[in-house]
Structure 1
């Protein structure tokens, strides 16, 4: 399933967006993780019913939006999201977010309740206490380390990711497409497109910004959190556990466990069909109600 790419005028330049789905289909928006790109949602798009389209931007400082300047931060992603909705003439829709993108989705819903009808959060959006001084490098490990590395060619970059514990035995063309979109430059010095400053600024807010961390408890719209049982390095437990999630009791956020997945895999494995079904249900409950 091939997407159509276009750009949207935002502060400082052009935001790159991929659209999957028919021209007359109802669009939902998908926001990716901190060092990812919009093509992380290609399999999810393929699993959506014909009546829905998916708009997935490369967020500011990543992939084909890497040239967009700062200031960075989740508020900048929210502003870019609103610009995308305006450009496409979308008054109100469901927003899907994975990892950091889930925090952006929550913040967008709180700041713009008239534009976000519901949020589907995939292993993100709910912040966990971090020791003082914790930085994003300590949290995401190899995903951050690669930003300062160079690679001889696309095969070497592919090999780097194939060794990541989250993808061991789980490699697919969906993962490869996402990984290759991130790579820029020319052999023998290719590198990740991600802007280190953007990742650090965004990561700091995910870890300790009060508005960002509080957004999930202040959502003015229906919300679902699909949480993976395993973590970023395929470890157990993952970011969330039933015990940790009791902090969301009374928030209205509905919880769905993904018992066979780690932090990355819900977007690339057969679980993408589960995520797609939840997105479809959210649209039916909110936008099409």
Structure 2
């Protein structure tokens, strides 16, 4: 079934949670039953909370899904620095505490996976289980490759977008529809996700992402020792899902069997690490196959936590 034929995504409500520096915007897709589990879901480096739309659709009310816009992104753009993965992890902990969720399941995609692992390590009493989606496992930079070169290679297109302006929303839509990882799966929901990132006034609309936040966080994904160690220090069970293809739908993904094996994950902490076939770095979250794999693990985690 194509995205356009899928049942509609339930509309989330938006709430705010106080954190140092302002109020964090949080989208909430409620469960159909009061006793259903709750999942906190953390987006990637230049994304926003609507990245979890297909997971919300696939959950179909079987769990409450809470997804924050991280500080410096989306409707949390005005929540200023300091940035960094530990700061985001503490914000996630503040969300769990403010809403009195108790130990809960936390999921993270891409950079959000590093934040998720850090949240568990820094606040072990608040996290019952983690799901890491195409992220959280770090590797040393190749010899002779500096931080700036690595950032340019990984974030170059994203950093370029943050410096661009667009005359209207249609122009921003056209920009995103050319992305090789999005084009085949374009839908009204992906459109809403990308439009949530757009702020300003025509003819100078621009991304809501704060450039300083993206640069700071990106450098830590590549180089921060605490962030790299978190997946190896999880105080609760964790699972890793990885995509078959990369950020631009290229054959070489972020992870593969050999890279996962070299990472030396502790099977007592990361209880499973699984490939999700026929997905790229983005469709593992919002494609039908990827969302079903994510939701299956989330519901199993919620059941185990309960």
Q: TM-score, normalised by structure 2?
A: 0.91
Match of 2:186 among 163, 167, 171: 171
Q: Which residue in the other structure is 1:118 paired with? A: 129
1:8 aligns with 2:27: no
Do the aligned partners of residues 22 and 184 (structure 1) sit closer, same or farther apart at CA in structure 2, a change above 3 Å counting?
same
Q: Which residue in the other structure is 1:241 paired with? A: 256
Distance of 2:47 and 2:265 partners within structure 1: 32
1:50-69 to 2 correspondences below 5 Å: 50-69=61-80
- Matched residues, number: 287
Deviation at 1:236, TM superposition (A): 1.0
Distance of 1:250 and 1:40 partners within structure 2: 27
Distance of 2:228 and 2:283 partners within structure 1: 24
What SS class does the counterpart of residue 220 from structure 2 fall into? helix
CA contact (8 A) 1:232 1:238 kept: yes
Distance of 2:31 and 2:87 partners within structure 1: 29
1:232-271 to 2 correspondences below 5 Å: 232-252=247-267, 253=270, 254-270=272-288, 271=290
Distance of 1:274 and 1:104 partners within structure 2: 21
Deviation at 1:267, TM superposition (A): 1.7
1:207 aligns with 2:222: yes
Q: Which residue in the other structure is 1:227 paired with? A: 242
Structure 2: gaps spanning 5 or more residues:
1-9
Deviation at 1:127, TM superposition (A): 1.1
1:67-146 to 2 correspondences below 5 Å: 67-130=78-141, 131-133=145-147, 134-146=149-161
CA contact (8 A) 1:135 1:203 kept: no
Q: Which residue in the other structure is 2:5 paired with? A: none
Greater shift after overlay, 107-116 or 28-37? 107-116
Distance of 2:103 and 2:278 partners within structure 1: 33
Deviations 1:106-138 (A, max 9, x none): 011111111111111110011122233244332
Q: Which residue in the other structure is 2:37 paired with? A: 26
Structure 1: gaps spanning 5 or more residues:
none
Deviation at 1:164, TM superposition (A): 0.8
Deviation at 1:141, TM superposition (A): 2.9
Distance of 1:241 and 1:17 partners within structure 2: 33
Greater shift after overlay, 66-75 or 17-26? 17-26
Deviations 1:49-85 (A, max 9, x none): 5331000000000010000111100111111111111
What SS class does the counterpart of residue 166 from structure 1 fall into? coil
Q: TM-score, normalised by structure 1?
A: 0.96
What SS class does the counterpart of residue 18 from structure 1 fall into? strand
Q: Which residue in the other structure is 2:302 paired with? A: 283
What SS class does the counterpart of residue 169 from structure 1 fall into? helix
CA contact (8 A) 2:107 2:130 kept: yes
CA contact (8 A) 2:77 2:210 kept: yes
Deviation at 1:165, TM superposition (A): 1.1
Match of 1:42 among 53, 60, 79: 53
Distance of 2:61 and 2:186 partners within structure 1: 27
Deviations 1:245-277 (A, max 9, x none): 002445122111012011111121102122111
Distance of 1:275 and 1:94 partners within structure 2: 12
1:274 aligns with 2:303: no
